[in-house]
């Protein structure tokens, strides 16, 4: 990577206390940099510690060995898209955006228009569909004019058509407000459809087994191209893990 990094992640160790009291190592030697406007996908099997990685970067958990260094900003604005939409059910869709947008109401409205949420701006989250709520959660993350967007399995439990629409919505928002983004997913197609670069993780503890840059002409080139790309990424992962069998569990899709 030649572009200056906006974020450097260097996590030596992150462990949790197991049931028997012994420390259980979850993340080990995770090192990567994120350039401005770069979308990086972190792909690993379910339960390998991907959400923990996002919590560390988000500052929700400080208990780890290593460092996370921000460049060019001391107080980064981080927009997070959680696995569940986590909208405030008692506030309207628009209020959910403006509440965190800190005065950027025009940006919030622009995103509501762009992501097709404008007609539903005054609806309460329990009155809209899950797909719509996820869209609103994506809009909320971009409404703070973020330095970094974190996405935690943003399309999990959506059917294939909705997943594809979700990816389009995310890319719409990103093209409107290009920002660094880190997507953790178990779905190789998500990674292939969205990312500039893919980090493949092993399980227990999670380590980076491959750091694959997607060739510029294949980036975000539509669903068919993404599907082909996902196949070659799966092969890359298989090749990386064959000798030691570092990756366990299945991350194949559907």
Partner 1 sequence: MLPAASTVAGAMLHEAVAGPLLANLGITLARVVAAFTVAMVFGTALGIAMGVWRRLDLALDSWVTVLLNLPALVVIVLMYVWFGLNEWAAIAAVALNKLPSTAVTLREGARALDRGLEEMAESFRMGRWARLRHVVLPQLAPYLFAAARSGLAIIWKIVLVVELLGRSNGVGFQIESYFQLFDVTGILAYTLAFILVVQAIEWVLLQPLERRANRWRR
Q: Which residues bind partner 1 (CB under 8 A)?
A: 58, 60, 77-80, 82, 84, 86, 88-91, 99-100, 124-127, 140, 144
Q: Could you tell me the smallest distance in angstroms from the CB atom of residue 238 to partner 1?
A: 35
Q: Could you tell me the smallest distance in angstroms from the CB atom of residue 141 to partner 1?
A: 9
Q: Could you tell me the smallest distance in angstroms from the CB atom of residue 30 to partner 1?
A: 20
Residue closer to partner 1 by CB (options 65, 127) is 127
Residue closer to partner 1 by CB (options 68, 99) is 99
Residue closer to partner 1 by CB (options 25, 99) is 99
Q: Could you tell me the smallest distance in angstroms from the CB atom of residue 124 to partner 1?
A: 4
Residue closer to partner 1 by CB (options 93, 209) is 93
Cβ 236 vs Cβ 212: under 8 Å:
yes
């Amino acid at each position: 990577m030649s572009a200056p990094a906006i974020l450097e992640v260097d996590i030596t160790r992150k462990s949790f206390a197991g049931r028997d009291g012994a420390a259980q190592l979850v993340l080990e030697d995770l090192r990567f940099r994120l350039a401005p406007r770069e979308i990086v996908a972190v792909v690993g099997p379910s339960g390998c510690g991907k959400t923990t990685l996002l919590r560390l970067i988000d500052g929700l958990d400080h208990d780890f060995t290593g460092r996370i260094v921000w460049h060019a900003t001391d107080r980064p604005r981080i927009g997070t898209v959680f696995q569940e939409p986590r909208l405030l059910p008692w506030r309207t869709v628009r209020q959910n955006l403006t509440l965190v947008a800190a005065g950027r109401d025009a940006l919030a409205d622009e995103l509501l228009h762009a992501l097709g949420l404008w007609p539903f701006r005054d609806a309460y989250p329990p009155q809209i569909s899950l797909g719509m709520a996820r869209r609103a959660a994506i809009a909320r993350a971009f409404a703070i004019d973020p330095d970094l967007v974190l996405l935690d399995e943003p399309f999990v439990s959506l059917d294939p058509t909705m997943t594809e629409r979700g990816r389009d919505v995310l890319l719409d928002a990103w093209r409107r407000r290009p920002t660094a983004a880190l997507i953790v997913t178990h779905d190789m197609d998500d990674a292939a459809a969205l990312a500039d670069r893919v980090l493949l993780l092993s399980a227990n503890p999670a380590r980076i087994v491959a750091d694959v840059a997607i060739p510029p002409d294949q980036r975000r080139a539509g669903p068919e191209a993404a599907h082909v790309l996902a196949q070659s990424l799966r092969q890359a992962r298989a090749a990386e893990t064959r000798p030691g069998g570092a990756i366990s569990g299945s991350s194949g899709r559907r």
